[in-house]
């Protein structure tokens, strides 16, 4: 038995926060005692609460802390198999736990990629060693070549399907993929950057690229494929996810598709709702990612999209790279940054404190909605649900210096952020506890 006492509890499904205790037994939330009930010293049956605490129960004093469902990230790269010098499933799991995550959906662009049952089984088996819930997508096409669909029915253990990292260019193939995943009841996710528009990826085509003497990646590259895939989502009825949205026009296309009845979802990353293309001038390759950071109006549009529910998922696109890789010239270095250990603090600073989201809304975007979309345990703070929780202190700041990830490629190094994760609990077990 584990009791979390006197915390401020975040209930994303009920859209409320309240003071209370959480009783955990056999991996589940056995009881939630609201503060008024607790102060009266009574349980629902009228018996004294304190008298019911079994011997050997660990009691955690959560005074001054917030407690919500464990975070779930639907877009993560752990680089395992094939690129484990950047990250592996165990090191990635450590980073996730420190960030407050109890659920992870991995991308399939490993080596070999997850286009077969053997690789999928390896990833899922390694994931069980982390102490948190690791799922994985499978690829949409064989070898991520964009030519032939995988045997989706044989990959039913996958959380969903995506060729993330490589845009799918054949409209006929995309439509057929949507129809097949619709029959399976799985989501399909798309990396929306048409390479026909792009001269240099990872940097927005705009004033910063011009100052650097390069062409960059224009917003039309994203808009073109989002327009196509929102239309196909409406046509096929598939659960379609627009990954790491970066443009104001893309946000509006998703908004219109949802209004028209499409089963469409969109991800926003912490870096896209926090930074703009100017970060490249200061941070160089540490601010290079696909799709790129864009303009202030795009950043604001993403924040507004999160606020009104047009964007229903906050996903990190956690993308580790080695120091040597990121030291290459801007046009040669790989795109991508770390995200798991800074996502919640950035969301607190940029979304909660600036009035875009309440805490229940934030946890809906970071926990409940991901759980619902990918049919995963967690996301709810209710009796009878799995005891997957994060406890954090939003009044405490920390300086971003080192990560538990194998890689250190973050533009936020050196910044002071609010929101220190004190404890992560998965299935009733404490899997991360801040060192004293």
Cβ proximity of 340 and 101 under 8 Å: yes
CA separation for the pair 208, 195 (Å, rounded):
20
From 11, 164, 298, 317, the catalytic residue: 317
What is each CA distance from 228 to 174, 183, 250, 310, in whole angstroms?
A: 10, 21, 11, 18
CA separation for the pair 102, 363 (Å, rounded):
13
CA separation for the pair 42, 38 (Å, rounded):
6
Strand partners, 421: 392
CA separation for the pair 320, 87 (Å, rounded):
6
Q: Which residues are CB-contacts of 168 (< 8 A; sequence separation ≥ 6)?
A: 140, 141, 146, 174, 177, 190
Alpha carbon 278 to its chain centroid, in Å, reads: 24
Task: Kindly state the tokens that stand for 21.
Answer: 């205790």
Cβ proximity of 431 and 424 under 8 Å: yes
Active site residue 317: yes
Sheet of strand 101-106, all strands in order from the earlier edge strand to the far edge: 71-76, 101-106, 133-136
Strand partners, 265: 241
What is each CA distance from 131 to 125, 215, 388, 430, in whole angstroms?
A: 12, 44, 11, 9
Cβ proximity of 215 and 290 under 8 Å: no
CA separation for the pair 141, 219 (Å, rounded):
26
Active site members: 317
């Amino acid at each position: 038995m584990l009791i979390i006492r006197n915390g401020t509890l975040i209930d994303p499904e009920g859209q409320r926060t309240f003071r209370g205790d959480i009783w955990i037994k056999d991996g589940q939330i056995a009881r939630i005692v609201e503060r008024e009930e607790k102060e009266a010293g009574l349980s629902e049956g009228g018996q004294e609460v304190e008298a019911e605490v079994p011997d050997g129960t660990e009691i955690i004093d959560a005074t001054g802390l917030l407690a919500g469902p464990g975070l779930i990230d639907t877009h993560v790269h752990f680089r395992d198999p094939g690129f484990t010098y950047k990250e592996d499933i165990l090191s990635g799991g450590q980073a996730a736990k420190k960030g407050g995550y109890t659920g992870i959906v991995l991308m399939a662009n490993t080596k070999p990629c997850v286009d077969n049952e053997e690789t999928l089984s390896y990833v899922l088996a390694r994931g069980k060693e982390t102490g948190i819930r690791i799922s994985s997508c499978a690829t949409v096409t064989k070898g991520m070549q964009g030519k032939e669909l995988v045997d989706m029915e044989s990959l039913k253990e996958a959380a969903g399907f995506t060729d993330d990292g490589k845009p799918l260019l054949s409209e006929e193939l995309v439509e057929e993929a949507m129809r097949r995943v619709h029959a399976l009841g799985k989501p399909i996710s798309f990396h929306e950057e048409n390479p026909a528009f792009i001269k240099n990826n990872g940097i927005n085509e705009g004033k910063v690229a011009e100052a650097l003497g390069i062409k960059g990646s224009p917003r039309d590259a994203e808009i073109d494929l989002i327009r196509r895939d929102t239309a196909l989502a409406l046509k096929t009825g598939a659960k379609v996810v627009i990954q790491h949205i970066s443009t104001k026009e893309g946000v509006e296309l998703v908004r219109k598709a949802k209004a028209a009845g499409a089963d469409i979802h969109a991800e926003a990353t912490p870096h896209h709702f926090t930074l703009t293309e100017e970060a490249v001038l200061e941070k160089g390759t540490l601010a290079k990612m696909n799709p790129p950071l864009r303009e202030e109006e795009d950043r604001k549009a993403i924040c507004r999209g999160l606020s009104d529910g047009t964007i229903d998922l906050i996903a990190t696109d956690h993308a580790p790279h080695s120091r040597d890789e990121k030291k290459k010239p801007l046009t040669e270095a790989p795109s991508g940054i770390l995200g798991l250990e800074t996502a919640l603090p950035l969301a607190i600073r940029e979304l909660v404190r600036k009035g875009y989201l309440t805490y229940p809304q934030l946890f809906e975007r970071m926990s409940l909605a991901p759980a619902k979309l990918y049919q995963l345990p967690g996301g709810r703070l209710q009796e009878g649900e799995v005891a997957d929780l994060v406890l954090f202190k939003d009044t405490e700041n920390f300086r971003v210096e080192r990560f538990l990830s194998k890689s250190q490629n973050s533009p936020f190094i050196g910044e002071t952020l609010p929101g220190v994760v004190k404890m992560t609990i998965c299935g009733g077990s404490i899997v991360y506890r801040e060192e004293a």
